[in-house]
Amino acid sequence: MPVQTEKNSRSFKIGLPILLSGLAIWLVLRQLDFQVLWAVFRQLSFTSIAMVALLFTVGLFLRGLTCWIILGPKFQFMDAFWAMNVGYLLNSFIPLRLGEFGRAAILTERSKGRASYMEALASIVAERFLDLLTGFMFLLVALLFLFKNERLEKIAWIGFVGLAFGLIFMIFLAKNRETVISWIKGRFSETSWVQKRFVPALEQLLLGFTFFLDVKRFIPASLILAVSWFLSMLEYNVLQNAILDGSKAWWPVLVIPAGAFVNALPAAPGGLGVFEAGAVGAYALVGVGKEPALAMALIVHFVQIVIPSIFGIITLFISGDSLGSLITRSTRFRAKKEVTE
């Protein structure tokens, strides 16, 4: 890749997330009454915030259990849990969710040779994919039975159908992985890079996708993940009951998925700005003002960053690893990819 092109590519990858976060922050702060916002914060008791933290922590352990089920018997539960939190910690410092690559590196090391890097990464992709699919299902329930918005309903259906086709495609690849690998080997028999690097990586990736073929793992993982989403909705319900009059228990069924999908956009580390913009925009649909919506989003986002970061730091301390080393390993995959291009 030419030097100038590489510089432009890196500038774009750094600039776009910062631009999106900046735009989101501007939209949230635009016409915001800070006195009202402070008054809302004063309504929140320590008990309410502690309950949010407790619900999130329980949900975090359930997500760790989901990751463990997806990873399979090559890993211990605590391996999956600690690695997941290290991934969250890294995502608080580096953009574009590159922390997932560091998470895969941690899992590979903890497997002690039982699982490859690509196999661990495939399991992470499967978990993120299942997470999105679960969120779209909740959003569809909200839009079909609780809140009517034709535009959002179309977007939700498009997303759900796209994910459903993606799931079917991954199942097809995993079920026919030997045939797929044989076809690629034959089709690119004279391309050494494909034979030596791409094919072995693809074999391990498809091996990780075999999770979708195991009903005894797929169904429990999906149900546990759905419960973790439900606990996230309870977090907002605790805050709603503390600061809003006449709040509806179903509002978070709309707000949580909408906020999560907006947070999936390429943004500054930690989803700064976009998470809050998603929650404020979703609450606006049901008539909640910007100030109380932002207050709730800030509390939830703070808890989502701090608690996994604490677990992640504990993991680094126990393992003797460093944050800088993990950041380097997380970005190495992207750097190698740019070189091969």
pLDDT in tens, 246-272: 889 999 998 988 777 777 666 666 677
What is the pLDDT of the chain when averaged over all its residues? 83
SS3 at position 301 = helix
Q: Where are the alpha helices (DSSP H) in the chain?
A: 3-29, 34-43, 46-71, 77-91, 99-110, 117-141, 150-175, 177-187, 192-193, 199-208, 215-243, 251-263, 274-285, 290-319, 323-340
By residue range, what is the domain housing residue 76? Answer: 3-113+135-149+211-340
47-89 tens-digit pLDDT: 999 999 999 999 999 999 999 999 888 888 998 999 899 888 8
Distances (CA, A) of 290 to 163, 238, 271: 31, 18, 19
Evaluate whether residue 183 is within a structural domain. Answer: no
Evaluate whether residue 198 is within a structural domain. Answer: no
Q: Is the pLDDT of residue 311 over 70?
A: yes
Evaluate whether residue 185 is within a structural domain. Answer: no
For the entire predicted model, the pTM comes to 0.85
pLDDT at 337: 43
Question: 189 or 245, which is more confident?
Answer: 245
Residue pair 252/279 in contact by the 8 Å Cβ criterion: no
Indicate the range of 188-192, 294-298, 320-324 predicted with least confidence. Answer: 320-324
**Separation between Cα atoms, residue 311 and residue 92, nearest integer Å:** 13
Evaluate whether residue 229 is within a structural domain. Answer: yes
pLDDT at 41: 93
Q: Is the pLDDT of residue 133 over 90?
A: no
Per-residue pLDDT band at 297 (split at 50, 70, 90): very high
Evaluate whether residue 162 is within a structural domain. Answer: no
Question: 231 or 22, which is more confident?
Answer: 231
Q: Is the pLDDT of residue 321 over 80?
A: no
Based on the structure, what is the number of domains in the chain?
A: 1
**Separation between Cα atoms, residue 149 and residue 272, nearest integer Å:** 27
Evaluate whether residue 316 is within a structural domain. Answer: yes
Q: Is the pLDDT of residue 341 over 70?
A: no
The residues, ordered by sequence, that sit 6+ positions from 111 with a Cβ below 8 Å of its Cβ are 74, 75, 79, 120
Length of the chain, please? 341
pLDDT at 3: 46
Residue pair 173/206 in contact by the 8 Å Cβ criterion: yes
Q: Is the pLDDT of residue 144 over 90?
A: no
Q: Exposed, middle or buried: residue 188 (CB in 10 Å: 0-12, 13-18, 19+)?
A: middle
Evaluate whether residue 329 is within a structural domain. Answer: yes
Residue in the block written with tokens 């999770």:
211
Q: Is the pLDDT of residue 329 over 90?
A: no
- DSSP one-letter code for 321: -
Average the pLDDT over 174-197 and give the result.
Answer: 84
Per-residue pLDDT band at 293 (split at 50, 70, 90): very high
Evaluate whether residue 205 is within a structural domain. Answer: no
